[in-house]
Chain A
Amino acid sequence: MLTEIKQGKTIPPLVKHITQEKINLYAEASGDFNPIHIDESFATSTPFAGTIAHGMLILAYVSETMTLAFGQSWLNGGKLSARFKESARPGDTITINSIIDSITEQNGVSYANCSFRCCNQKDETIILGDVSVRFSAD
């Protein structure tokens, strides 16, 4: 967990390698068997030209990044907004970079407002977003 929550603090990045096996496992765990994720012959015939990872799989990594940084504060007081820009594909290495942009207070409650960017090994943006975490300033 972060030892200090303050504006400008970089959250330790999380790096994950995407494989078709992981995508298949996620399909089974989530119940999302959309063929664009798991059927290579179907996916090759689409504009994606191959299988892509579930967006929610990458968001699970974002959530893990925030859990490691903020602990239970994220799990019961977190808020996330994400825009999917590009697809993550088997073979990609995804890095989740995030920073605390501001600390705000509302009704005596402190919030860490962060932005995050998920990018692949070519530094292409996969997901852009913001999170807000309610925390105790004590």
Chain B
Amino acid sequence: MQDANVTYEELVPDYEFSPVNYDLSEPLISKYLQAVDISDGGFVPPMAIAAYSLQAMAGALSLPPDAIAIHTSQEIEFFKLVPVGATIECHAKVARKITRASMRMLVLELNVFNQDKEKVQSGKTTIVFPG
């Protein structure tokens, strides 16, 4: 496990970002529900969890100030309902890194666990940074 704030150049396949915990409090989820304009079903929307896990990774990645990260594809699988008020732990790992003259690409594996260490979600994110 490495410390946070790593640069693109320092990333290698299998690099693991430090896990990040989120407290999925009622105010946090209410804010999300309002932003996406969807109804409250009593459970945390799975895309909220995916968004937080992505943000956990992004917060640890240091990019040049003018770099634009383009999200090009996303895979997600949901395993368990997550109630509002739960705490989740987000893990991210570099699955692939491709560097070309005109672009840089990262494929990241994301896994999210609840407070009982049960996997609630997994996914794969592809991000491209024009070179």
Question: Which residues of A come within 8 Å of B, CB atoms?
Answer: 16, 22, 25-26, 28-32, 34, 36, 46-48, 54-57, 59-61, 63-64, 67, 72, 74-84
Chain A contacts of B80 at CB under 8 A?
76
Flag if B59 contacts A31 (CB, 8 Å): yes
Pick 11 A–B contacts, CB within 8 A, sort by A. Answer: A25-B35, A59-B50, A64-B36, A67-B41, A76-B78, A77-B78, A78-B46, A80-B75, A84-B71, A84-B72, A84-B73
Known A29-B31, A76-B79, A83-B72; 19 more pairs at CB < 8 Å: A22-B35, A25-B35, A28-B31, A29-B35, A31-B59, A32-B54, A54-B71, A55-B71, A56-B47, A64-B38, A67-B41, A74-B46, A77-B79, A79-B77, A79-B78, A80-B74, A82-B74, A83-B73, A84-B73
The number of residue pairs between A and B whose CB atoms lie closer than 8 Å in the complex comes to 108
Chain B contacts of A48 at CB under 8 A?
68
Q: Does any Cβ of A come within 8 Å of B102's Cβ? A: no
Q: Which of B32, B46, B72 has the most CB of A within 10 A?
A: B46
Chain A contacts of B48 at CB under 8 A?
29-30, 60
Partner of B47 from the list A47, A59, A79 (CB cut-off 8 Å) is: A59
Mask, B50-79, CB within 8 Å of A = 1, is: 111011001100000000111111111111
What is the CA–CA distance of A98 and B76 in the complex, to the nearest angstrom? 17
Q: How near does chain B come to A67, taking the closest CB pair, in angstroms?
A: 7
Q: How near does chain A come to B28, taking the closest CB pair, in angstroms?
A: 8
What is the CA–CA distance of A54 and B73 in the complex, to the nearest angstrom? 12
Chain A contacts of B55 at CB under 8 A?
30-32
What is the CA–CA distance of A78 and B123 in the complex, to the nearest angstrom? 12
Partner of B68 from the list A30, A46, A79, A81 (CB cut-off 8 Å) is: A46
What is the CA–CA distance of A63 and B51 in the complex, to the nearest angstrom? 12
Mask, B79-90, CB within 8 Å of A = 1, is: 111000000000
